[in-house]
Amino acid sequence: MIRYALTRGVLLIAGLLVSSVIIFLTLRVFPGDVAQLIAGTQAGPETVAALRESLGLNKPLTAQYGSWIGGILHGDLGTSQLSGASVGAELAEKARVTVPLGIMSLTIALLIAVPFGILSAMMRGRSGGTSLNVAAQAVAAVPVIWAGMMLVVVFALWLGWLPAQGFPRTGWSTPFRAFEALLLPALTIGIVEGAMLLRFVRSATLQAAGQDFVRTAAAKGLTRRQALIRHGIPAVGLSIVTVLGLQVAGIIVGSVVIEQLFTLPGIGRMLVADVGTRDLVKVQSELLVLTGFVLLIGFVVDLVHHAVDPRQRAEVD
Amino acid sequence: MPRWLRSLLSSGPGRFGVIVVLLIALTALVSLFWTPFDPMLSDVRGRWAEPGWPHLLGTDGTGRDILSLVMAGARTTVFVAVGAGIVATLVGIALAALGALTARWVRETVAVLVDILIAFPVLMIAMMISAVWGGSLWVVVFSVGIGFGVSIARVTRPELRRVQQSDFVLAGRANGLTTGQNLVRHLLPNVAPVFIVQLSWSMAVAVLAEAGLSYLGFGATLTEASWGTLLADLQRYIGVHPLTVVWPGLAITLTVLGLNLLGDALREATDPTLSHRGDEIHEPAVIA
């Protein structure tokens, strides 16, 4: 187990390094002159030159990369080129919206996918199972933006149960209002993600139902349903863990669009705004934080999967 | 009619997929020459017309005909889906070939690199490119194409390795074919089914990505009709005219559903071993 964790950890660090290089190079090497981009077309050559100097763009690329990564290793994500504010502090503040949104979305997705996925597999071949599968297939094809708009129309405009957009300025000091503001966005991501996950749970359950140990349990006198629930479902849980990493990546990406749609002051909306104003220092640190988070989740998922699955343990050690 | 095509059309979902994809392609083609109204022509006096004659789906806040806008949006969707498909094919073949056919250390390095790149969500790639280049449909085409090229490579590579060890490839090599010739004549035709299925699913996500990125302002420009920008436009008046947002969203959903079902059906039609391998599912990839 420890050996596996170490090898997987090396891969994680390699992944972080490669990602940082890719992000850095795409934002630096491709564009020609970053300083000109920031200053805009109206700026005179002196302004641009001064800006280039203050951004450290005259230094060689390796030195620029080194100072960026060195700063990050010391916990300094850099400062905004436009406002001079600390990127780390702003990210931490915005995370107070994005992290709860992500957790709520994931919870809703699992609450939809697991029971209905298993149900749809157990009812396979009957009309109930088929219609569940068809519905999941259709919902998974709905773009998150549109799903969000339809939910706003129904729950905010027609029924008036939930706020249509925005986040209370008072933040989490008014927990109920903050929760209420995040409910509709989380439902949007949760339903669409849940529909995709449902199809996965369904096929994992069907696969488990065909396994020898389930068949043996049925042969020993359990009904097929009992055999599936007692011996098959644990195996399903294991395969859900493997896609959870992907699911989290999907939720992060979904939250970028959804925060825009519901005007929530989260990390995704911050990233979109910074790309719009070309605040490249902020963009590169934000992209690295998000990618790093996705890689980290993948790492944790692999470790958990390894620790829980006895077969994997036996194979490697 | 070849066997795979007959099998594709014999299943309900397969038929639905083929019909929807053809319908969207046809709409895009027709919209090049004819739409009921000029999709970009605003008519201030005819703002927010109810669905009816002559505006079958009504008009938007500047009096543009929504049906014409949706038809013209199909053009953008097809452009992005096909463009991203081509980029994904090239990137996918290149990475899969590098990861399967080269010397061991190159092969392993590429494989690890692909594993890392796959964690990079497509939207992030798009943001990086548009932070630098400014948004355009080409940003969408390249970011989605590169993103899916990588994930196609991951699926195709083991398949390529498997086929490479078969006797007819060995026979080809014994007869003096170079690696490149062998790739084109024997390897690619044999992995094509896997590849095409992946491509169909990727194009579905490309459609979602185009809508999402255009919605965020990183895709289509103001002069290009797109379902994503149309949704963003209509969203501003959602409190007053909630039903107008139904049409572009429905168009996106239908297209994505069609491409997904087409991919599923193609896989069933081309992969005879599927029943043995069980009902595995393509990994969910979410963009927009």
Chain-chain contact of A280 with B131 (C-beta, under 8 angstroms): yes
Q: Does B119 touch chain A (CB under 8 A)?
A: yes
Closest residue of B to A204, CA-based?
A: B280
Cα–Cα dist A94/A85, whole Å: 14
Residue A242: is it exposed, middle or buried by C-beta count within 10 angstroms (0-12/13-18/19+)? middle
A and B: number of Cβ contacts within 8 A:
165
CA angle B13, B17, B19 (to 5 degrees): 115
Q: What are the angstrom distances between the C-alpha of A304 and each of A1, A16, A294, A298?
A: 11, 20, 15, 10
Selected residue of A7, A28, A146 to mutate for chain B interface (largest B Cβ count, 10 A):
A146
Report pLDDT digits (tens) over A97-136.
Answer: 899 999 999 999 999 988 898 888 888 778 887 888 888 8
Chain-chain contact of B204 with A137 (C-beta, under 8 angstroms): no
In percent, the amount of chain A with pLDDT more than 90 equals 7
Chain-chain contact of A143 with B253 (C-beta, under 8 angstroms): yes
Q: Which is more confident, B259 or B272?
A: B259
Distance (Å) from the alpha carbon of A291 to chain B's nearest alpha carbon: 6
Q: Does B167 touch chain A (CB under 8 A)?
A: no
Q: Which residues of A touch B285 (CB under 8 A)?
A: 246, 250
Name the 3-class secondary structure at A86: strand
Give the residue among B157, B146, B147, B145 at the shortest CA–CA distance from B195.
B157
Establish whether the linkage from the previous residue to B54 is cis, with ω within 30° of 0: yes
Q: Does B278 touch chain A (CB under 8 A)?
A: yes
Q: Which residues of B touch A23 (CB under 8 A)?
A: 128
B121 — phi, psi (to 5°)? -65, 145
Which tokens in the block code for residue B186?
A: 């024997």
Name the 3-class secondary structure at B78: helix
Closest residue of A to B117, CA-based?
A: A19
Q: Which residues of B touch A157 (CB under 8 A)?
A: 238-239, 242
Distance (Å) from the alpha carbon of B33 to chain A's nearest alpha carbon: 28
Q: What is the mean pLDDT of residues B4-17?
A: 80
Give the residue among B28, B48, B5 at the shortest CA–CA distance from B265.
B5
Q: Does B124 touch chain A (CB under 8 A)?
A: yes
Chain-chain contact of B260 with A141 (C-beta, under 8 angstroms): yes
Chain-chain contact of B235 with A149 (C-beta, under 8 angstroms): yes
Instruction: Look up residue A163 and give its amino acid.
Output: P
Q: What is the mean pLDDT of residues A21-45?
A: 72
Q: Which residues of A touch B21 (CB under 8 A)?
A: none
For A103-141, give the DSSP string.
HHHHHHHHHHHHHHHHHHHHTTTSHHHHHHHHHHHHHHT
Chain-chain contact of A141 with B253 (C-beta, under 8 angstroms): yes
Closest residue of B to A271, CA-based?
A: B127
Q: Does B212 touch chain A (CB under 8 A)?
A: yes
Contacts of A291 (CB under 8 A, 6+ apart): A19, A23, B119, B120, B124
Chain-chain contact of B245 with A146 (C-beta, under 8 angstroms): yes
Q: What is the mean pLDDT of residues A176-203?
A: 87
Cα–Cα dist A228/A237, whole Å: 12
Chain-chain contact of B212 with A15 (C-beta, under 8 angstroms): no
Distance (Å) from the alpha carbon of A172 to chain B's nearest alpha carbon: 27
Mean pLDDT check: name the lowest of A125-129, A141-145, B82-86, B271-275.
B271-275
The size of chain A, in residues, is 317
Give the residue among B212, B84, B210 at the shortest CA–CA distance from B142.
B84
Q: Which residues of B touch A35 (CB under 8 A)?
A: none
Residue B44: is it exposed, middle or buried by C-beta count within 10 angstroms (0-12/13-18/19+)? exposed
First to last CA, chain A: 7
Question: Hey, how many other C-beta atoms are within 10 angstroms of the C-beta on B104?
Answer: 7
Q: Does B141 touch chain A (CB under 8 A)?
A: no
Q: Any idea which residue has 């949006």 for tokens? A: B73
**Dihedral of alpha carbons B125, B128, B133, B136, sign:** positive
Chain-chain contact of A280 with B113 (C-beta, under 8 angstroms): no
Report pLDDT digits (tens) over B191-244.
Answer: 887 788 888 888 888 898 888 888 888 878 777 888 888 888 888 877 777 888
Report pLDDT digits (tens) over A63-100.
Answer: 888 888 888 888 888 888 777 788 888 888 888 889 99
**Dihedral of alpha carbons B107, B108, B110, B111, sign:** positive
Give the residue among B252, B57, B243 at the shortest CA–CA distance from A145.
B252
Give the pLDDT score at A109: 92
Q: What is the mean pLDDT of residues A159-181?
A: 81
Give the pLDDT score at A316: 47
Give the pLDDT score at A159: 85
Report pLDDT digits (tens) over B101-139.
Answer: 787 888 888 888 887 777 777 777 787 787 777 778 888
Question: Hey, how many other C-beta atoms are within 10 angstroms of the C-beta on A153?
Answer: 18
Q: Which residues of B touch A137 (CB under 8 A)?
A: 257, 260-261
Give the pLDDT score at B284: 42
In percent, the amount of chain B with pLDDT more than 90 equals 7
A171 within 8 A of A178, measured Cβ to Cβ: yes
